[in-house]
């Protein structure tokens, strides 16, 4: 699946940014009421300038307090999943690593639901408890899966996926149990756990932002270390990388990003698998570039998936996790077959 | 000068290296020879700090203990040409060699014009300029080996360790690589430790030879001193004859009684 010819001359970043912008405008325009892309831009520019044209007043509320925050949240979630997927793939030296497939997303989901079922008082720390608990559970999962899957110094694909699936099933079972037992607040989380952006509004955007700034921020600067790690721990260290420290930092950052995405947007699979994979085919394996591009590409991909989730059974909405899974599972099988045939790594 | 003092390494309860001490002068190539499993690779890995040695073992360069400095600092003093294993296939040759500049880069891996020039020169020296833009996965074993040597050259260190670098090379490149290694020592003043299987290549291209058997140094000296029938025959469990090489008189080791399988 090479990149179409005319696009090859453009810088990968220009192209990615352009598609992200396109997806964002589309995501704001599409919904129960269609708003022309030109009007979308005029409302946003107007709001930034402080005066919205009177003929657009009727759209302003929809755009500014419903669709724009949802779009930003989806973009941030996609960026987190795309870049952490690329980081996990580099870290495990395995093209099938993905926050969902290795169980981290389900682990984080369980952590989030546990925190929700404790019924914290509505306060700053009460709100922080959910993402924090998701992060702890994500870390616990990733270390357990890694230790279980490791054979000597390598992490074979089958072991990684099997351990991930086992952990994922276990965490999902516990999550379901907690949800069935509880009432009210947590039951409503059912839609969330399947990856629906039920947490609309700017609160969720502000909530996810600090985690992402730290997690994704560290990841985009980890490209050189991940390049070195592709040659194995020993060579990486002989070339000057403090291997254990670098791996720990990247693992924590990727898990923090995943946990933040799960805590605010639910469990959305396969973004971290599909996006880095396609980008690697188009623009090569250099992680310095791949991480930044996966961030942009993840955001774009999830925005498009979210638009689809709104239109396939309109006026109802599908959880976006269903859309990404429907696209992602066949893609996963294709990558698996390809990796087997070509000895990809 | 590289000083290795009382280096001991165990995997579990099995002792792989037993109190190994060696000195390699600047401008000298020391060959490490010995049968399979003698601990040659382990010595290379222990000296480069990726395998933990017992406390008390020291690897010194100008008073700096290389085993106690950071990987970054160590990588500026000592480079390693590893045995080729699975290299990440999607990297190009130039990207791979550029990673040799890691100890001089910031954490982002930003490269300067000087780094580019060093990489270009390293590629030139191993005759791999025409491979520069190709993915490593497409190269033959011999070409990959030269890329790894170029990466070590780009590291620009006063000490270089090589682990069986000729294993995948054809005759032409075996000789070419060892000529280059000798030039690096004799003209550029590097201290070089090279693990070699081929005793006759060791005899012709290196200044001194260390014979490693079961993790212990059995003998160190010039090829003439170490490559003698008594020492080699005992180390390899195989009677050998040694005759002077017809071109330069270096020792030529010839197995006398071929035996299908060693007894041990």
Average pLDDT on A49-77 reads 86
Q: What is the pLDDT of residue B142?
A: 87
Q: What is the pLDDT of residue B141?
A: 87
Of B48, B70, B105, the CB nearest to A238: B48
Q: What is the pLDDT of residue A54?
A: 80
Average pLDDT on B30-57 reads 92
pLDDT tens, residue by residue, B103-122? 999 877 788 999 999 999 99
Average pLDDT on A106-111 reads 91
Average pLDDT on A172-188 reads 76
B109 vs A187: CA distance, rounded Å = 48
What is the pLDDT of chain A when averaged over all its residues?
Answer: 85
Buried b (16+ CB within 10 A) or exposed e, B91-124: bbbbbbbbbbbbbbbeeebebeeebeebbeebbe
pLDDT tens, residue by residue, B61-91? 888 899 999 999 999 999 999 988 778 888 9
Opening angle at CA B81, ends B80 and B83, nearest 5:
125
Residues 64-83 of chain B whose Cβ lies under 8 A from any Cβ of chain A? 70-72, 74-76, 79-80, 82
Smallest CA–CA separation between A239 and chain B, in Å? 6
Residues 90-149 of chain B whose Cβ lies under 8 A from any Cβ of chain A? 90-92, 95, 99-100, 102-103, 105, 107-109
Q: Do A239 and B75 touch (CB under 8 A)?
A: yes
Smallest CA–CA separation between B71 and chain A, in Å? 5
Is it the case that residue A345 has pLDDT exceeding 50?
no
Q: Do B50 and A284 touch (CB under 8 A)?
A: no
pLDDT tens, residue by residue, A15-57? 999 999 999 999 998 887 888 888 888 888 888 888 888 888 8
Average pLDDT on A184-200 reads 60
pLDDT-derived band at A224, boundaries 50, 70, 90 = very high
Q: Do A286 and B91 touch (CB under 8 A)?
A: yes
Q: What is the pLDDT of residue A344?
A: 45
Q: Do B99 and A280 touch (CB under 8 A)?
A: no
What residue in B sits closest to A229 (Cα-Cα)?
B88
Of B45, B88, B109, the CB nearest to A230: B88
Q: A246-255, A315-324, B69-78: which has the minimum mean pLDDT?
A: A315-324
Q: What is the pLDDT of residue A282?
A: 87
What is the pLDDT of chain B when averaged over all its residues?
Answer: 92
B150 vs A329: CA distance, rounded Å = 42
Q: Where are the beta strands (DSSP E) in chain A?
A: none
Q: A122-131, B74-83, B155-164: which has the minimum mean pLDDT?
A: A122-131
ipTM exceeding 0.90, yes/no:
yes
Q: Do A240 and B71 touch (CB under 8 A)?
A: yes
Count of alpha carbons within 13 angstroms of residue B24, beta-carbon side: 29
pLDDT-derived band at A258, boundaries 50, 70, 90 = very high
pLDDT > 70 fraction of chain B, expressed in percent and rounded: 97
Q: Are A265 and A69 a contacting pair, CB within 8 Å?
A: no
Average pLDDT on B147-162 reads 96
Q: Do A230 and B91 touch (CB under 8 A)?
A: yes
Opening angle at CA A324, ends A321 and A328, nearest 5:
135
CB of B85 less than 8 A from some CB of A: yes
What residue in B sits closest to A225 (Cα-Cα)?
B107
Q: Do A230 and B105 touch (CB under 8 A)?
A: no
Q: A9-18, A249-258, B19-28: which has the minimum mean pLDDT?
A: A9-18
Q: Are B236 and B212 a contacting pair, CB within 8 Å?
A: no
Which three-class secondary structure state does DSSP give residue B252?
Answer: strand
A170 vs A140: CA distance, rounded Å = 13
Q: A21-25, A153-157, A166-170, B1-5: which has the minimum mean pLDDT?
A: A153-157
Average pLDDT on A245-263 reads 90
Residues of B in contact with A233 (CB under 8 A): 50
- Residue B54 CB burial class (10 angstroms; 0-12, 13-18, ≥19): middle
pLDDT-derived band at A194, boundaries 50, 70, 90 = low
List residues in chain A touching B: CB distance below 8 A.
93, 221, 223-225, 227-228, 230-235, 237-243, 280, 284-286, 288, 344-345
pLDDT tens, residue by residue, A195-216? 655 555 787 888 889 899 999 9
Average pLDDT on B115-138 reads 94
Residues of B in contact with A224 (CB under 8 A): 102, 105, 107-109
pLDDT-derived band at A98, boundaries 50, 70, 90 = confident
User: What's the predicted TM-score (pTM) here?
Assistant: 0.88
A337 vs A321: CA distance, rounded Å = 24
Q: What is the pLDDT of residue A160?
A: 81
pLDDT > 70 fraction of chain A, expressed in percent and rounded: 87
What residue in A sits closest to B76 (Cα-Cα)?
A240
Q: What's the token pair of residue A137? A: 């559970």
Q: Do A227 and B85 touch (CB under 8 A)?
A: no
Q: Are A39 and A59 a contacting pair, CB within 8 Å?
A: yes
């Amino acid at each position: 699946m090479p990149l179409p010819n005319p696009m090859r001359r453009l810088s990968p970043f220009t192209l990615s940014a352009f598609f992200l912008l396109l997806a964002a405008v589309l995501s704001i325009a599409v919904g129960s009421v269609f708003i022309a892309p030109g009007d979308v831009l005029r409302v946003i520019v107007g709001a930034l300038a402080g005066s919205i044209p009177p003929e657009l007043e009727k759209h302003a509320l929809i755009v500014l307090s419903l669709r724009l925050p949802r779009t930003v949240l989806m973009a941030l979630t996609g960026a987190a999943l795309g870049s952490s997927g690329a980081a996990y793939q580099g870290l495990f030296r395995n093209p099938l690593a993905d926050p969902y497939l290795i169980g981290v997303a389900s682990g984080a989901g369980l952590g989030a639901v546990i925190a929700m079922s404790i019924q914290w008082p509505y306060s700053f720390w009460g709100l922080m408890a959910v993402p924090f608990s998701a992060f702890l559970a994500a870390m616990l999962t990733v270390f357990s899966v890694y230790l279980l899957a490791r054979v000597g110094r390598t992490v074979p694909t089958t072991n990684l996926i099997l351990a991930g699936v086992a952990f994922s099933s276990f965490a999902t079972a516990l999550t379901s149990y907690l949800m069935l037992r509880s009432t009210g607040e947590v039951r409503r989380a059912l839609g969330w756990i399947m990856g629906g952006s039920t947490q609309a509004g700017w609160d969720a955007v502000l909530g996810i932002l600090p985690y992402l700034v730290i997690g994704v921020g560290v990841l985009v600067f980890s490209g050189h270390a991940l390049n070195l790690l592709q040659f194995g721990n020993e060579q990486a260290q002989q070339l000057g990388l403090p291997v254990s420290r670098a791996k720990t930092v990247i693992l924590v950052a990727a898990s923090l990003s995943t946990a933040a995405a799960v805590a605010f947007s639910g469990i959305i699979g396969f973004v971290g698998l599909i996006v880095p994979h396609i980008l690697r085919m188009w623009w090569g394996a250099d992680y310095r570039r791949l991480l930044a591009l996966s961030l942009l590409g993840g955001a774009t991909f999830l925005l498009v998936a979210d638009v689809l989730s709104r239109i396939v059974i309109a006026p109802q909405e599908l959880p976006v996790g269903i859309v990404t899974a429907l696209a992602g599972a066949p893609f996963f099988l294709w990558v698996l077959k390809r990796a087997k045939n070509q000895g990809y790594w | 000068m590289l000083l290795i003092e009382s280096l001991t390494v165990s995997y579990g309860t099995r002792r792989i290296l037993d109190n190994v001490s060696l000195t390699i002068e600047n401008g000298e190539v020391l060959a490490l020879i010995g049968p399979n499993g003698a601990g040659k690779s382990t010595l290379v890995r222990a000296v480069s700090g990726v395998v933990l040695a017992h406390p008390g073992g020291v690897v010194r360069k100008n008073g700096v203990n290389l085993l106690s400095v950071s990987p970054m600092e160590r990588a500026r003093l000592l480079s390693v040409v590893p045995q080729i294993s699975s290299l990440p296939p999607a990297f190009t040759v130039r990207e791979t060699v550029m990673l040799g500049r890691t100890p001089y880069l910031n954490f982002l891996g930003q490269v300067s014009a000087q780094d580019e020039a060093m990489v270009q020169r390293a590629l030139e020296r191993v005759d791999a300029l025409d491979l520069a833009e190709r993915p490593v996965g497409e190269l033959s074993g011999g070409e990959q080996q030269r890329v790894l040597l170029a990466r070590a050259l780009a590291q620009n260190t006063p000490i270089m360790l090589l682990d069986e670098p000729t294993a995948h090379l054809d005759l032409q490149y075996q000789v070419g690589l060892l000529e280059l290694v000798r030039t690096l020592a004799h003209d550029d003043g590097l201290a070089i430790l090279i693990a070699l299987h081929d005793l006759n290549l060791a005899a012709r291209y290196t200044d001194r030879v260390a014979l490693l058997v079961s993790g212990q140094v059995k003998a160190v000296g010039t090829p003439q001193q170490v490559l003698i029938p008594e020492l080699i025959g005992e180390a390899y469990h195989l009677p050998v004859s040694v005759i002077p090489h017809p071109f330069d008189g270096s020792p030529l080791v010839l197995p006398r009684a071929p035996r299908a399988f060693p007894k041990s």
